[in-house]
Amino acid sequence: MENVADINPAEDPHLRRGPRGFPLLPGGYGRSTYYTGAPSPYAIKGEGYRVWDDRGRELIDANNNFTSLIHGNAHPEIAEAATKALTTGASWGIPNLYEWELADLLLSRLPDLDQVRFTNSGTEAVMSAIRIARASTGRERVIVTRGGYHGTSEVALVPGGPSYQRGVTQGVIDDVTAVPLNDVEVLRQAVEAAPNQYAAIILDLLPNRAGLLTISDDFVRTARELATRYGIVLIIDEVISLRLGFNGFSGEYGVSADLLTTGKLIGGGFPVGAVCGKAELMAEVDPTRPGSLPHGGTFSGNPVSMAAGAVSLRLYTQEEVKRLNHLGDSARDIVNARIADAGWEIRGRGSLLRAVPAGAGKVDEQTQHQLWWASYERGLLGSPANLLSLSTPMDEKVVGDIADRLADAVLEVAKHVPATEGGK
C-alpha cells in the first residue's frame, strides 16, 4: 500500500484501479455529489478561503465543503481544539463533556428549544426528527416541499423526483406528500384532506435543489398554524441555513419549530448533525424513560466534532453573521447588475449565492456542469450545483473578486446556453 504522499499528482486518481481491475471508487468518486461531468481535480491543501488542487491551481474556496466550513480551511483555533480533543481520545463508549458545551452554545441561539441530540450528519438528524415526530403523534405520513433537500434517507429522497426515488419502496413514497414551494392553498388542502395521518411538516427555508428560492413568510406561518391546529410536528431543516441568522434562519421569520435539524457549521469541519427540540418531543429519545426510542451512532457526539464545533459557534458571532450576510448581499447586487442582460440571475440570501437562468426552477445538470467548469477556469470553486457560500476569512476585497469571477463565468456560459434552455 503506497502512501498518499507518494501518489503522482499527474496520474488521474479517477483511473486508479483495485486488484480486480475496477476503479477503486465507483466512477472514481467517493461522493456522487462531487461529480461535475468530467474528471474532477483533487484538493491538495486548504488554508483560509483558498484551496490548492492537484492540477496546480490556487482557487477561492466558495464551496467550503458544501457550506460547512463557515470559517474556511484549517482555521487555527478550530484545528487546535480538534487536535487537543484527538490527543486525549478521539471517541469513547461513555459520554464526554464536550457534548454539553456544544449543546449549551447551540440552545443559547435557539431560545424556544430545550434539548439536543447529536448525530453524525444532517441526514441522520432529519431521519431522527421524522422518527421522533412519528412516535410522538402515532402517525406515519409527512409533508415536504418539492425541491427541498433533507439528506439521503429514503423519505428525504422522495421530493427529488423519479431519479431520486429509484431504490425507494413504494410504501415510503406513498407516505410522503410533496407540495409546490410557496403554494399556501395546496399546503392547506393537503393537510386538511387527512389531518390525522400526518406526523410532520418538513421545511427547508432556502431549498438549493429548487434553485435557492426562499420560502415565503406566508407559507412558513401557514405551516406553523396548520401544525399547531392539527397536532402535527413542524420540523425546520437548518442544516444549511442556520448560518443566515444568529438564531438561525427560522429566527429571521420569527417562527418557532417543534424540532429543528442542523449540522455542517456546528461541527467545525468534522462530521456532525443535531436534532434540537421541545422537551416533550425530545423525551421520545430519553433512555431513562420506559419505551423510549433507541438512538445510537458509534461516533455521534464524538469529542473531536464537539470541540471543533464549539469553537466554530463561538467564532460565528452576531457581528460576523451580519458582516458575512452583508458581503453576500453586496455580491449578489454586483453580479446581478452584470448578468441581467444575459438572462441570468443570482439568488439566495445572505452568505449563500447561486447563479441560475432567470426564472428557472430546477437547472439541468449539463448547464450546472458548464458553469462549474467556467468558474473553475477562473479560479473560483463552488458546488457542482454552483451554490457559493462565503466564509469568515473573506473580506470585501475577496468577495468582490468572487463576484467578478462569477459574473465572467456566467457570461461565458450564457453565450452557449440560452436562459430558456438552462432551466425547467
Which CATH number is 76-315's, of 1.10.10.10, 3.30.110.30, 3.40.640.10, 3.40.50.620?
3.40.640.10
The answer to whether residues 147 and 207 touch, using CB atoms and an 8 Å cutoff, is yes
Alpha-carbon separation of residue 4 from 46, 101, 183, 303, 408 (angstroms): 16, 35, 51, 26, 36
- Segment (H or E) for 176: strand 176-179
Domain 41-70+317-415 in this protein, CATH class? alpha beta
Q: How would you list the strands of the sheet with 387-389, edge to edge? A: 344-349, 352-357, 387-389
In the chain, where the domains are located: 41-70+317-415, 76-315
Three-state DSSP state, 403: helix
- Tens of pLDDT, residues 237-296: 999 999 999 999 999 999 999 999 999 999 999 999 999 999 999 999 999 999 999 999
Residues 368, 291: Cα–Cα separation, whole Å: 48
pLDDT at 22 > cutoff 90? no
pLDDT cut 90: percent of the chain above it: 81
pLDDT band at 1 (very low <50, low <70, confident <90, very high): very low
Q: What percent of the chain has pLDDT over 70?
A: 96
